[in-house]
Structure 1
Amino acid sequence: MTAALASPGLADLLRLPPYQAYSYSYPHKTAYRPIEPAQPLAKLWAGERRDALFLYLHIPFCSYRCGFCNLFALARPEPAKVERYLQQMERQLQATTQALGDHRFVRFALGGGTPTYLDAEQLRRVFAMVERYASIDLKATPAGIEVSPETADADKLRVCREAGIDRVSMGIQSFSDAEVRSLVRPQQREVVERAIATIRAEAFPILNLDLIYGIAGQTVTSFLASIDSALAHGPEEIYLYPLYVRPLTGLGRIEAKAGAKPGFALQAEPLDTRLALYEAGRDHLLAAGYTQVSMRMFRAPHSPDIAAPVYCCQSDGMVGVGCGARSYTGTLHYSSEYGVARRSVAEILEHYLARDPASFAYADYGIELDDDERRRRHVIQSLLIRPGLDRDDYRRRFGADCLDDLPQLRDLLALDLAQGDDSMLALTDAGLARADTIGPWLTSARIAERMHDYRLG
Structure 2
Amino acid sequence: MLHDIPRSVYIHIPFCSHKCHYCDFTAYVVGGQPVDDYLDALEREMAHTTAEIPPQEIETIFIGGGTPTILTPAQMERLLESIQRFFPRWTADLEFTVEANPGTTDADKLTVMIAGGVNRLSFGAQTFRPDLLAEIGRVHSVADIGRSVDQARAAGIDNLSLDLMFGLPKQTPADMEEAIRQGLALSPDHFSVYSLKVEEGTLFHTKLLQGRLPLPSEDDELAMYQLTRARLSAAGYVQYEVSNFARRGFESRHNSTYWKNHPYYGFGAGAHGYAGGIRHMNVKGVGDYIRRSRTGRPTVETLEVPFHEAMENEMILGLRLAEGVGKMPFYRRFGYRLEDVFGPVLEKLEQQGMLVREEERWRLTDKGLLFGNEVFASFLGEARIDGVCR
Query: Secondary structure of the equivalent of 1:293?
Result: strand
Residue of structure 2 equivalent to 1:70: 24
Uncovered stretches (5+) of structure 1, i.e. residues with no partner: 1-46, 338-344, 446-457
Instruction: List per-residue Cα deviations over 1:372-401 (Å, max 9, x = no partner).
Output: 110011112211102111012212222323
1:369 aligns with 2:305: yes
Is the CA contact (8 Å cut-off) linking 2:324 and 2:362 kept in structure 1?
yes
1:85 aligns with 2:32: no
How many angstroms apart in 1 are the aligned matches of 2:180 and 2:57? 38
How many angstroms apart in 1 are the aligned matches of 2:53 and 2:231? 45
How many angstroms apart in 1 are the aligned matches of 2:288 and 2:201? 21
- Return the letter of the residue paired with 1:105: I
Distance 1:101 1:400, change over 3 A: closer
1:388 aligns with 2:324: yes
How many angstroms apart in 1 are the aligned matches of 2:341 and 2:31? 48
* TM superposition shift of 1:356: 5.0
1:56 aligns with 2:10: yes
Residue of structure 1 equivalent to 2:48: 95
Instruction: List per-residue Cα deviations over 1:323-364 (Å, max 9, x = no partner).
Output: 111110242100214xxxxxxx5xx2221111252322x855
How many angstroms apart in 2 are the aligned matches of 1:259 and 1:333? 38
Distance 1:311 1:190, change over 3 A: closer
- Return the letter of the residue paired with 1:393: P
How many angstroms apart in 1 are the aligned matches of 2:92 and 2:70? 23
Higher relative contact order (CA 8 A, sep 6+): 1
Match of 1:399 among 313, 335, 347: 335
Match of 1:147 among 87, 100, 113: 100
Is the CA contact (8 Å cut-off) linking 2:103 and 2:148 kept in structure 1?
yes
Instruction: List per-residue Cα deviations over 1:185-242 (Å, max 9, x = no partner).
Output: 2332122222121122122131000111111222211111110101001100011111
- Return the letter of the residue paired with 1:194: R
The farther-off stretch of 395-404 and 126-135 is 395-404
The 4+ residue runs of structure 1 with deviation greater than 3 A are: 137-140, 257-260, 303-308, 310-316, 440-445
Match of 2:362 among 405, 410, 425: 425
Distance 1:304 1:272, change over 3 A: closer
Distance 1:88 1:305, change over 3 A: closer
Match of 1:314 among 240, 260, 268: 260
CA RMSD across the alignment: 2.7
Query: Secondary structure of the equivalent of 1:56?
Result: strand
How many angstroms apart in 1 are the aligned matches of 2:166 and 2:378? 23
How many angstroms apart in 2 are the aligned matches of 1:437 and 1:306? 25
Query: Secondary structure of the equivalent of 2:44?
Result: helix
Residue of structure 1 equivalent to 2:63: 110
Match of 1:132 among 72, 75, 85: 85
Identity in percent:
26
TM alignment of 1:330-345, pairs within 5 A: 330-337=276-283
TM alignment of 1:205-244, pairs within 5 A: 205-244=158-197
Equivalent pairs counted in the alignment come to 380
Query: Secondary structure of the equivalent of 1:359?
Result: coil
Is the CA contact (8 Å cut-off) linking 1:170 and 1:208 kept in structure 2?
yes
Distance 1:307 1:367, change over 3 A: closer
- Return the letter of the residue paired with 1:434: F
Match of 1:159 among 112, 117, 121: 112
1:439 aligns with 2:386: no
